[in-house]
C-alpha cells in the first residue's frame, strides 16, 4: 500500500494548526454535550509525541467530568521506551480511583497499543478509540513515518511478534471506534479503518490532518459521544 501523496504530507503542519484554530470556537458547543461522572480515560500519544501534546484534550475531558490522564511515559519513541508493565500499573491505579473500567484513546501508534492492551485485558478496558491508527494490512508501506520508526527501533523481533503479527488487524473484544481522515498525510487512511463486519466496531471519518487529530473539534465531539454511550450502559 502506498503512503499518502507528498502534498498531503507537506501540508500536515499548517493543516494541524488549522484544526487547533477551529477547535477554539467549537469548545462552547462541545460543553453542551452530556458530562461524565468520573469515568477513567487514558490518552496515549502518537509516535514522537508525548502527554504534553494531549494536555488540551486531557484538561477538557477533566473539565467535562471525566478522570482523564496521559500515559505517563514521556515521548513515544516506540518499543525502545514503552513499558507495558508501567502502563498496566497506571491503569490499575485509575481503575481503583474511578471504580470502573478505563476508556483508552490512542493517537496513531498510541492507538495500536490501546487495541493490543484491550485484547489482553478486556476486563479492564471499557472501550477503545483510535485516532488515525494504522492497524490494518499495509501499514508499514503506507506510512511516511515507518522508515524513521525502524531506524529508531532497530531491534524489532519482539515488537514484530506483538504489533506486526497478522492478528493486529483483529479488533479487541470491547466497543471500538476507529476515527480517521482521508486527508491523512502521514499514514494511508485505508490502514486506519476496521475491515470486516463487527457489531462492536464503528469507523468514523472526520475532516482534518493526521497530526491534528488530537486537537480536532470533530474528534472531540465523537470522543464525548462515545463516552456518553459508556455512561448510558453503566446507568
Give the CA distances from residue 208 to residues 19, 152, 200, in Å, rounded to whole numbers and listed in that order. 6, 28, 25
Interval 83-103: pLDDT, tens: 888 998 999 999 888 889 999
132 pLDDT higher than 90: yes
79 pLDDT higher than 80: no
56 pLDDT higher than 90: yes
Pairing of strands 201-205, 102-107: unpaired
Are 95 and 124 contacting, i.e. CB atoms less than 8 angstroms apart? yes
231 pLDDT higher than 60: no
Are 109 and 46 contacting, i.e. CB atoms less than 8 angstroms apart? yes
Task: Kindly indicate the confidence band of residue 152, based on its pLDDT and cuts at 50, 70 and 90.
Answer: low
* Average pLDDT for the chain: 89
Length of the chain: 235
Task: Kindly indicate the confidence band of residue 170, based on its pLDDT and cuts at 50, 70 and 90.
Answer: very high
Output b/e per residue, 106-119; b: 16+ Cβ within 10 A: bbbbbbbbbbbbbb
Task: Kindly indicate the confidence band of residue 209, based on its pLDDT and cuts at 50, 70 and 90.
Answer: very high
Q: What is the mean pLDDT of residues 128-155?
A: 77
Specify the pTM.
Answer: 0.91
Q: What is the mean pLDDT of residues 194-211?
A: 96
161 pLDDT higher than 50: no
Domains of the chain, earliest start first = 6-234 (3.40.50.1820)
Amino acid at each position: 500500500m502506498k503512503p499518502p501523496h507528498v502534498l498531503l504530507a507537506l501540508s500536515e503542519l499548517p493543516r494541524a494548526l488549522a484544526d487547533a484554530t477551529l477547535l477554539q470556537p467549537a469548545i462552547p458547543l462541545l460543553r453542551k454535550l452530556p458530562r461524565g461522572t468520573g469515568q477513567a480515560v487514558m490518552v496515549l500519544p502518537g509516535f514522537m509525541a508525548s502527554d504534553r501534546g494531549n494536555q488540551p484534550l486531557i484538561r477538557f475531558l477533566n473539565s467535562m467530568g471525566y478522570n482523564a490522564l496521559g500515559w505517563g511515559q514521556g515521548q513515544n519513541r516506540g518499543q525502545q521506551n514503552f513499558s507495558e508493565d508501567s502502563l498496566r500499573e497506571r491503569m490499575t491505579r485509575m481503575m481503583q480511583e474511578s471504580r470502573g473500567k478505563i476508556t483508552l484513546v490512542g493517537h496513531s501508534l498510541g492507538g495500536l497499543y490501546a487495541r493490543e492492551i484491550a485484547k489482553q485485558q478486556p476486563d479492564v478496558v471499557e472501550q477503545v478509540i483510535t485516532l488515525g491508527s494504522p492497524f490494518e494490512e499495509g501499514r508499514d508501506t503506507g506510512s511516511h513515518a515507518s522508515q524513521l520508526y525502524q531506524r529508531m527501533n532497530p531491534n524489532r523481533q519482539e515488537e514484530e511478534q506483538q504489533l506486526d503479527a497478522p492478528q493486529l488487524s483483529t479488533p479487541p473484544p470491547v466497543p471500538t471506534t476507529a476515527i480517521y481522515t482521508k486527508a491523512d498525510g502521514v499514514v494511508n487512511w485505508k490502514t486506519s479503518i476496521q475491515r470486516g463486519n463487527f457489531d462492536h466496531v464503528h469507523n468514523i471519518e472526520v475532516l482534518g490532518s493526521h497530526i491534528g487529530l488530537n486537537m480536532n473539534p470533530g474528534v472531540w465531539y465523537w470522543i464525548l459521544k462515545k463516552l456518553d454511550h459508556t455512561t448510558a450502559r453503566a446507568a
